[in-house]
Amino acid sequence: MSQVTAPPVRRRRSALQRRVSLAGIGFVTPFMIGLALLIIAPIVYAIYLSLFRTQLIGGTAFVGFGNYATLLQDAKFWASFLRVLLFLVVQVPIMLVLSLIAALALDSARLHGVGFFRIAIFLPYAVPGVVAALLWGFIYGNQFGLTAWVNSAFGWHLAPLAPSWILGSIGNIVTWEFMGYNMLIFYSALRVIGTELYEAAEIDGAGAWRIIFNIKMPALRGSIVIAVIFSIIGSFQLFNEPNLLQSLAPNSITSYFTPNMYAYNLSFAGQQFNYSATVAIVMGIITGVISYIVQVRGTRAENR
């Protein structure tokens, strides 16, 4: 992926080369300044903060890696981490498989009204997470929400906001929001498969399933890797949905329901900014490492 696409033309005069390289630096500089100030600086600052401890009574003290040592033994942090990990391994595959099915169906040329399906399934992506959580919060209510109606109509006992259901209910909201988005990513990748591949398959007399597994799936690998990475990042960052649903499910959604909620509550309810920064740093490292592994494995599989 890092293959150089503009091979340096060696025969040019060095003046031109210098001009080109200066221009390149010029194009990239504004972004890099922003990156340095708005992403790298906060990271460095967070690392700095994580080395101190401030008390409401008694002020600030340097504690080295003390906060990290505390974090390693912090049952709340690990509970929140395991919860998003569970979310990740359950919700993400379900969502991506659904997206994949939808994308393959759109691409199958066996569907009526492709344009309508495409945009209709994509629409929830345009709904802000806040609105999605409010909206589903209303629907989940088992007094006047749709859930109440479903329960009385079918005699069920759905309780989407109960502790044992809540993670699934949040997973449903996230799936609803991002299924269409991932579907489009996959669909776009399918659209650029060269016709010659299909023609060759047709000559071979390959059936629909063989085309899916031998042509379409390999072509989708790159976009699946991207979707997985973004879903990992999204899962580890889970905040808006549980935070907004908390008022509806105060006992199901604890103050450390996800690592991000934990960090938020440490900072703004507990005034433990230093420890909160530690949580942020550790989660950043874990997310980065896992994303990197997925990326490397994904590309390696591709090169085989």
Partner 1 sequence: MSGVTMRPHRRSGSHHVRPRRNLVLTIVMALFVVYSLVPLIWLVINSTKTQADLFTTFGLGFGKHFVLFSNIAQTFTYKDGIFLHWLLNTLLYVVVGAGGATLLATLGGYGLAKYAFPGRRAVFGVVIGAIAVPGTALAVPTFLMFSKLGLTNTPWAVILPSLISPFGLYLIWTYAIDAVPIELLEAARVDGASELRTFFTISLRLLTPGIVTVLLFAIVATWNNYFLPLIMLSDPTWYPLTVGLSQWSAQATGVAAQPIYNLVITGSLITIIPIVVAFLFLQRYWQSGLAAGSVKA
Partner 2 sequence: MNHSTRWTALRRVASVAVAGAVVAAALVGCSSSGNSGSSGAGAGGGKPADVEAALKKGGEITYWTWTPAAKAQVAAFEKVYPKVKVNLVNAGTNTTEYTKLQNAVKAGKGAPDVAQVEYYAVPQFALGDSLVDLSQFGFDSLKSDYSSGPWSNVNVQGKVMGLPQDSGPMALFYNKTEFDKYGIAVPKTWDEYIAAAKKLHAANPNAYITSDSGDPGFITSMIWQAGGQPFKVDGTKVSINLQDDGTKKFTAMWNQLVEGKLLSQVPGWSDDWYKALGNGDVATLITGAWMPGVLESSVPQGSGQWAVAPIPTYDGTPVNAENGGSAEVVMKQSKNQALAAGFLKWLNDSEQSVNIFIGSGGGFPSTTKDQNSDNFLNQAPAYFGGQKINQVLVDGAKPVVEGWQYLPFEVYANSIFGDTVGQAYTKSSSLDPGLVAWQKALVDYGNQQGFKVTVG
Ramachandran area for residue 254 (φ above 0: left; ψ -120 to 50: alpha; else beta): beta
The one among 64, 86, 138, 210 contacting partner 1 by CB under 8 A: 138
- Select the span of 189-197, 207-215, 245-253, 280-288 touching partner 2 (CB under 8 A): 245-253
Task: Give the range of 56-64, 65-73, 87-95, 238-246 binding partner 1 by CB under 8 A.
Answer: 238-246
Choice from 63, 85, 90, 127 touching partner 1 (CB under 8 A): 127
On whether the CB atoms of residues 290 and 232 are closer than 8 A, the answer is yes
Of 276-295, which residues contact partner 2 (CB under 8 A)? none
Size, binding site for partner 1 by CB under 8 A: 121
Pattern 33-62, partner 1, x by CB under 8 A: -xx--xx-xxx-xx--x-------------
Paired strand residues for 61: 53
Residues 188-217 that bind partner 1 (CB under 8 A): 188-189, 191-195, 198-199, 201-202, 208, 211
CA distance 274 to 272: 6
User: Does 269 help bind partner 2 (rule: CB under 8 A)?
Assistant: yes
- Among 29, 55, 188, 299, the residue binding partner 2 under the rule CB under 8 A is 55
One-letter amino acid at 56 equals L
Q: Which stretch binds partner 1 (CB under 8 A): 12-20, 63-71, 73-81, 163-171?
A: 12-20
Burial class (CB in 10 A: 0-12, 13-18, 19+), 259: buried
Rounded Cα distance between 294 and 236, Å, is: 15
Query: If binding is defined by CB under 8 A, does position 124 make contact with partner 2?
Result: no
Upper half-sphere CA count for residue 237 (Cβ side, 13 Å): 12
Query: Pick from 158, 128, 143: which is nearest to 248 by CA?
Result: 143
Helices (H) and strands (E) in the chain, counts: 14, 2
* Residues at the site binding partner 2, with contacts judged by CB under 8 A: 55-58, 138, 141-145, 161-163, 246-256, 265, 268-273
